[in-house]
Chains A and B, each alone.
Chain A
């Protein structure tokens, strides 16, 4: 045996003496049981010193995988998302389908949903299976060219005999034809089968092998001399991308077609039909120059995702992803057609019997007779839907707008979880607990509690930093302190995430948002919250989490808050279901808000000179941002016509048109520092009865505004749609009186109520516009309910009372 090359470094340590290969054999060979599986896991862990615990538990039963895998050690999890709805008009029936996509490519499922919804809205996709084929191509090497010609001629007459031979082996494989190619001494025979509901690679290998055994036995009689025979000489192009598949057929050939009217295109795909056609023309030109075999946009994404989810042969993804996309104008809309000549799919055999894969096939109605064809129909339908959505994104520049990156002109060693070490906490605790001798012994990770903000949720994991909340128990001496470390993203990073949300809402909103994104309250949000928490006024301190430290390091883009873990705070994260909020809790929240509102009331000029406050809203900014308010409203009307009806849109536009008037009035009212995100996602209540106290956190959007803004937001979130006028007036007046009692000068009750109504208008066109933008890609239960309540509050016309 040829000696292996000497190993070096870590490989040598792991494998030691490579000449003794018995030590290198994987244990439990040929054994399909869980004991053997775990033994293999331990073995690889020991040899590589790498923990593979993530594979230790699996729901798969090794004993049932004898035809699927050898030396099994576990299973990798690939997330599966649901795409749809897609109305598919197949050959048998029309049905609405939701398809499972197994993928780790972000935005893929969302884009497929968008395309599918648009296609469905326009009447659905019609899919025809043209044929289903599987091929094997045995090859024969003869002794001379004469022998090769004679053999080929004889074989050409054996189709019926071969068919009979096939039936001996399989009931499902039907031999349709044999195509013969002579290449010098070689004779390739392409066996072309129909294989029912199986993809058929294994089945056709068996039948072809059986036929070839007979053929070889006949050759002496024929008087030709065979030098060599192999079961497949590559002419089947099995698992290779090839141009012949379209002609000979391999896999299932499908054609998917849909017609989209202009309205569906504009509403669903956020693009003008002409733009879509123009982009397609450009892409076809590029495809010609790149010599792309089958020009489409990205059908491989769907093929790979559904193949993975449904136990198809993933190695056939590339040959199955052949597809020619055609677009043409049809009236004011377009007709789109996708021809996929070779989808290698099946619903029996391979991985289709694994439990999850089987269940997912069932959800699409792709089990039983004819299911392979139905699966091909679904895949082709979603391929067309995704191609349209992606092409629309390309046409509108949404791609660029959604994939902007933060420009940095220097490398940054960003703050990471590794920085949350004992020294870090020790410095903070010594300062905040006023004990310079305090020594941190160890740090324990705690499970995440409630209280993540929408911003943290949206930005965490998207920008490659330790951004988000980190819960730690810090042990010092005989005590411990539970701390939540909030690592904040840069404002620019938040704005880019928001920009990617805007991009999902179409070109118009994306462009409007791109311009104004620094003006929607996020500018400086990373430094603002630190500045807010550094306040020492008891009216603030009593109504916010206890602060253990603030850490700012611009060079490392570190903006970090250390605050108490809010284990004793009730009603946190109840925005989606505020039913537990009692009127007493609402009063407590309003009293708390009044306390911190009273700190800066009518001293807002002092605040305005602080750079961290940024540019608070003003009548001028509200006027300037009218294109954005319009874009928000129109997007909502298009995307959620039941939430933003024509009547709502009319009222909404009237408010936008009159911004100079009503915001002009609002601007004359006393202003202060407000929380500006004052709802049950960011507030809770400590204690109860007379000890009850507000706890407001997530101050990153704090700004200068009239104080009624916070109360209007709170009431929109916690009150049901059946709003009682007296109750609302009671809360508004409670707020005013509590501020007055704190010593601040406040206007009369009537003027105060008017301010509340104007703040509610501001919330509607601004904050809820933003919510409805995010709602396109992220469902929050609170959105529809709170919006409905806010509209009821507006209808009370408190500014006139």
Chain B
């Protein structure tokens, strides 16, 4: 649930998301879906929405040639920059402490930050210098969404959570989930994660403006949470663990044994603080192998979505893949563009429309892959995961 990215009229989600508030301190998107959906090869060039940078770093371990980590929000860019800088000067133990993933005294974190800050750009250094308290308290749960989710934990009975998370088989999980998902918990969930609360406390109302009547947001979230707790093994599910227990250190990029390699690869990440459409328009055709776009299209109007889709079909090479989630808004970039163009076509096809039509027809929805991956999504929030392939 972390994305921000492209040009819109005033006070739309993109503008709001660029306000410099840290929206996400962790990424709530299953990295395995991106890894399997994009299937990057050694030496590929990837474009990814940066968010909190977790998946940028997880995919970095697949050794692409370059990852462009783009975000419209300078706060998110500052966080990714901090992680990369910390990688280069801190040992693993200090790295996870600074991020607030393991316990540490506030002054320890501040002194760790001191060692890192000289490596930050002016903008990011200024941003973090103004937030010494956040650093001292631990960054891990400082994002707006992360704080909101953390607030729900007071409603969960710790012993029930522990019992569920220690289940060894699906059968055990189902039995243990029955305890956890008591009527009281479900009521609390429904109240806490109401659409209104979600829009105001977890996200921003502008991020919810395209949510239609076809979905009961709260019921959807609850049923997916039940689903992930009863249909997929919770063992190794970092997203469920983080939801119920707070921080986790099992994501690939956080593991100690991956740290030396991650450090070696860190220079391959290029941070871009810009709107996606602005960035894409300046890129040569076929210059990106794959793109991971979070749930970006959730916040965009259908017109802007279509424009971005057309740019992507140009910039991503044939055979390259584009992966993204739908949280509450069903958006498909391959069909969006075609539909728009056909409505324009009624008024006569302009040269620009013809180009759009060409781009739209150059994208193929990989439906088995997308549905299969969605059915294994350990970060359960979403209503769809889509992988499109650019074709000749």
**A interface residue numbers (CB < 8 A to B):** 400, 404, 406-407, 409, 491-492, 511-512, 514-516, 518-519, 523-524, 527, 554, 605-606, 609, 611, 615, 618-621, 623-628, 631, 660-661, 664-665, 667-668
A611-B42 in contact given A409-B317, A623-B232 (Cβ < 8 Å) = yes
Instruction: Assess the B35–A615 pair: CB atoms within 8 A.
Output: yes
Q: How far, in Å, is A627 (CB) from chain B's closest CB?
A: 4
Instruction: Assess the B36–A660 pair: CB atoms within 8 A.
Output: no
Chain B interface, number of residues (Cβ within 8 angstroms): 43
Listed A/B pairs (22) with beta-carbon separation below 8 Å: A407-B318, A511-B368, A515-B366, A515-B369, A515-B372, A527-B42, A554-B42, A605-B257, A609-B61, A611-B42, A611-B61, A611-B62, A615-B32, A615-B35, A620-B376, A620-B378, A624-B375, A624-B376, A660-B233, A664-B169, A667-B235, A668-B235
Q: How far, in Å, is B168 (CB) from chain A's closest CB?
A: 6
Instruction: Assess the B36–A624 pair: CB atoms within 8 A.
Output: yes
A664-B32 in contact given A511-B368, A519-B39, A620-B378 (Cβ < 8 Å) = no
Instruction: Assess the B62–A623 pair: CB atoms within 8 A.
Output: no
Q: Is B231 an interface residue (CB 8 A)?
A: yes
The contact string, 1 if C-beta is below 8 Å from chain A, for chain B 281-312, is 00000100000000000000000000000000
Measured between beta carbons, the chain A residues less than 8 angstroms from B169 are: 661, 664-665
What is the bound-complex CA distance between A512 and B370, given in angstroms? 10
The contact string, 1 if C-beta is below 8 Å from chain A, for chain B 381-392, is 000000101010
A523-B233 in contact given A620-B378, A661-B171 (Cβ < 8 Å) = no
A407, A618, A623, A664: which has the most chain B beta carbons within 10 Å? A664
Measured between beta carbons, the chain B residues less than 8 angstroms from A527 are: 42
Instruction: Assess the A523–B41 pair: CB atoms within 8 A.
Output: yes
Instruction: Assess the A661–B170 pair: CB atoms within 8 A.
Output: yes
The 9 closest A-B pairs by CB, nearest first: A515-B369, A518-B39, A624-B376, A627-B368, A512-B368, A515-B366, A623-B376, A664-B233, A407-B319
Known: A512-B369, A605-B255. 9 other contacts (CB 8 A): A511-B368, A514-B389, A518-B36, A611-B261, A620-B376, A620-B378, A621-B32, A623-B376, A667-B236
Q: How far, in Å, is A754 (CB) from chain B's closest CB?
A: 12
What is the bound-complex CA distance between A619 and B170, given in angstroms? 11
Measured between beta carbons, the chain B residues less than 8 angstroms from A667 are: 233, 235-236
Q: Is B135 an interface residue (CB 8 A)?
A: no
Q: Is B278 an interface residue (CB 8 A)?
A: no
Q: Is the interface of A mostly helix, strand, loop or mixed?
A: helix
Q: How far, in Å, is A400 (CB) from chain B's closest CB?
A: 7
Instruction: Assess the B376–A515 pair: CB atoms within 8 A.
Output: no
Return the chain B residue nearest A518 by Cβ. B39
Instruction: Assess the B41–A491 pair: CB atoms within 8 A.
Output: yes
Instruction: Assess the B170–A664 pair: CB atoms within 8 A.
Output: yes
Instruction: Assess the B36–A615 pair: CB atoms within 8 A.
Output: yes
Measured between beta carbons, the chain B residues less than 8 angstroms from A619 are: 232-233, 236
Q: How far, in Å, is A765 (CB) from chain B's closest CB?
A: 13
Q: Is B212 an interface residue (CB 8 A)?
A: no
Instruction: Assess the A611–B63 pair: CB atoms within 8 A.
Output: yes
Q: Is B373 an interface residue (CB 8 A)?
A: yes
Instruction: Assess the A515–B368 pair: CB atoms within 8 A.
Output: yes
What is the bound-complex CA distance between A554 and B368, given in angstroms? 32
Measured between beta carbons, the chain B residues less than 8 angstroms from A409 are: 286, 317
- Cβ-neighbour of A668 out of B168, B369, B391 (below 8 A): B168
What is the bound-complex CA distance between A523 and B367, given in angstroms? 20
Instruction: Assess the A660–B39 pair: CB atoms within 8 A.
Output: no
A660-B41 in contact given A515-B366, A605-B257, A611-B61 (Cβ < 8 Å) = no
Q: How far, in Å, is A625 (CB) from chain B's closest CB?
A: 6
Residues 61 to 115 of chain B near chain A (Cβ within 8 Å): 61-63
What is the bound-complex CA distance between A409 and B320, given in angstroms? 12
Q: Is B43 an interface residue (CB 8 A)?
A: yes
Instruction: Assess the B366–A626 pair: CB atoms within 8 A.
Output: no
Q: Is B178 an interface residue (CB 8 A)?
A: no
- Cβ-neighbour of B368 out of A492, A518, A631, A665 (below 8 A): A631
- Cβ-neighbour of A516 out of B168, B232, B372 (below 8 A): B372
What is the bound-complex CA distance between A624 and B369, given in angstroms? 8
Instruction: Assess the B257–A626 pair: CB atoms within 8 A.
Output: no
What is the bound-complex CA distance between A625 and B374, given in angstroms? 10
The contact string, 1 if C-beta is below 8 Å from chain A, for chain B 41-64, is 111000000000000000001110
Return the chain B residue nearest A614 by Cβ. B62
A406, A605, A620: which has the most chain B beta carbons within 10 Å? A620
Q: How far, in Å, is A325 (CB) from chain B's closest CB?
A: 27
Return the chain A residue nearest B378 by Cβ. A620
Instruction: Assess the B32–A628 pair: CB atoms within 8 A.
Output: no
What is the bound-complex CA distance between A626 and B371, given in angstroms? 9
A624-B39 in contact given A609-B261, A664-B170 (Cβ < 8 Å) = no
Q: Is B215 an interface residue (CB 8 A)?
A: no
What is the bound-complex CA distance between A623 and B237, given in angstroms? 14
Measured between beta carbons, the chain A residues less than 8 angstroms from B35 are: 615
Return the chain B residue nearest A622 by Cβ. B376
Q: How far, in Å, is A705 (CB) from chain B's closest CB?
A: 16
A628-B317 in contact given A523-B39, A660-B233 (Cβ < 8 Å) = no
Residues 228 to 261 of chain B near chain A (Cβ within 8 Å): 231-233, 235-236, 255, 257-258, 261
Q: How far, in Å, is A537 (CB) from chain B's closest CB?
A: 19
Measured between beta carbons, the chain B residues less than 8 angstroms from A615 are: 32, 35-36
A628-B368 in contact given A606-B257, A661-B169 (Cβ < 8 Å) = yes
What is the bound-complex CA distance between A511 and B365, given in angstroms? 10
Q: How far, in Å, is A565 (CB) from chain B's closest CB?
A: 30
Measured between beta carbons, the chain A residues less than 8 angstroms from B257 are: 605-606, 609
Measured between beta carbons, the chain B residues less than 8 angstroms from A625 are: 372
Q: How far, in Å, is B114 (CB) from chain A's closest CB?
A: 30
Return the chain A residue nearest B39 by Cβ. A518
Measured between beta carbons, the chain A residues less than 8 angstroms from B378 are: 620
What is the bound-complex CA distance between A661 and B36, given in angstroms? 21
Return the chain B residue nearest A523 by Cβ. B39
- Cβ-neighbour of B42 out of A516, A524, A609, A620 (below 8 A): A524
The contact string, 1 if C-beta is below 8 Å from chain A, for chain B 206-241, is 000000000000000000000000011101100000
Q: How far, in Å, is B269 (CB) from chain A's closest CB?
A: 16
